[in-house]
């Protein structure tokens, strides 16, 4: 009976949201879905990876992954492999494609930063609006339609890492875990790191996890930004705030997220077990 209910549920989702599902050899399903956002004034594509043997009657943690279509698949594969080893819980992975270069330029950058640090006349980012979209539209949609629990994490690569880090100071309770890969934290004299430092100073305790990495072969700018963040975390991280900064040996900007995500997810799993989440 359970398998029949699951099949009906999956078919109904495909019909309701005009998406389509692909079946991975491992047994997890990939749903391509459109969601209209009144906040953004856009129809947004979503790539939803449901865990192996997905049960619509259960509640699952969710990780939201920016740069969907380039970053979500390897994250989903790692969660699938590590959950089969009981290193992390089975997790729904939601990939969020940019849809356009303009989206990536504006929506991933905090509103106090320039979209192009080399051009003082460039507009500020609109990451605050994008986080409103996530909090008020996307997260409730996933919770209602796919059985999401309240345990959420957020991952971003390169410019996407700016949005993930910004979410820490703008909406700290929206996610428990954050993953920032190859993030240009150095921009505008480490402005975002300075904002993080100011924010952490106001906190005595936070039940939060942060993993930030860069490839050992990346630019000196990228590495200096990570070094600056590391010093701030050493000095300012409040009780309960678990963080890791990591250099991935032998890789550059293109490969770091794919390689270091395994370590990041393993550390996330340790955090969850310790916190009994």
Q: Domain map of the chain by residue range?
A: 2-275
d(CA 6, CA 55): 7
Write down the mean pLDDT value for the chain.
Answer: 91
For residue 81, what pLDDT band results from cuts at 50, 70 and 90?
very high
- Can you list the positions of beta strands (E) in the chain? 20-23, 29-37, 42-50, 60-66, 92-96, 148-157, 177-181, 205-215, 239-248
Edge to edge, what strands does the sheet with 92-96 contain? 20-23, 29-37, 42-50, 92-96, 60-66, 148-157, 177-181, 205-215, 239-248
Checking if the pLDDT of 23 tops 60, the result is: no
CA 122 to chain centre: 26
Q: What is the mean pLDDT of residues 28-52?
A: 95
Residue 99, pLDDT score: 86
- The stretch 81-97 carries a mean pLDDT of 98
Cα torsion 151, 164, 205, 213: sign: positive
Closest residue by Cα to residue 65 from 136, 192, 157: 157
Q: 20 pLDDT exceeds 90?
A: no
CATH superfamily of 2-275: Alpha/Beta hydrolase fold, catalytic domain (3.40.50.1820)
Contact (CB, 8 A) for 123 and 178 = no
β-strand pairing of 29-37 with 42-50: antiparallel
* Mean pLDDT, range 40-65, rounded to an integer: 97
């Amino acid at each position: 009976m359970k398998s029949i209910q699951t099949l009906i549920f999956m078919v109904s989702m495909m019909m309701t949201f005009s998406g389509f599902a692909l079946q991975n050899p491992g047994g997890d399903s990939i749903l391509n879905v459109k969601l209209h956002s009144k906040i953004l004034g856009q129809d947004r594509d979503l790539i939803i990876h449901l865990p192996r043997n997905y049960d619509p009657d259960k509640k699952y943690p969710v990780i939201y992954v920016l740069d969907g279509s380039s970053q979500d698949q390897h994250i989903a594969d790692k969660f699938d492999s590590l959950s089969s080893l009981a290193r992390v819980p089975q997790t729904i992975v939601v990939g969020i494609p940019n849809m356009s270069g303009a989206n990536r330029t504006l929506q991933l950058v905090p509103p106090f930063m320039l979209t192009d640090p080399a051009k003082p006349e460039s507009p500020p980012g609109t990451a605050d609006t994008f986080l409103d979209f996530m909090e008020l539209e996307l997260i409730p949609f996933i919770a209602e339609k796919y059985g999401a629990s309240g345990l959420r994490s957020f991952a971003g690569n390169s410019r996407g890492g700016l949005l993930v880090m910004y979410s820490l100071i703008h909406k700290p309770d929206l996610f428990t875990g954050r993953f920032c890969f190859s993030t240009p934290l150095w921009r505008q004299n480490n402005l975002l790191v300075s904002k993080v430092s100011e924010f952490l100073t106001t906190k005595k305790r936070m039940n939060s996890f942060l993993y930030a990495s860069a490839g050992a072969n990346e630019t000196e700018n990228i590495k200096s930004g990570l070094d600056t963040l590391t010093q701030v975390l050493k000095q300012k991280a409040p009780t309960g705030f678990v963080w890791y900064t990591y250099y991935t040996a032998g890789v550059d900007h293109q490969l770091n997220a794919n390689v270091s995500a395994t370590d990041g997810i393993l550390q996330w799993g340790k955090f969850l077990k310790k916190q009994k989440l």
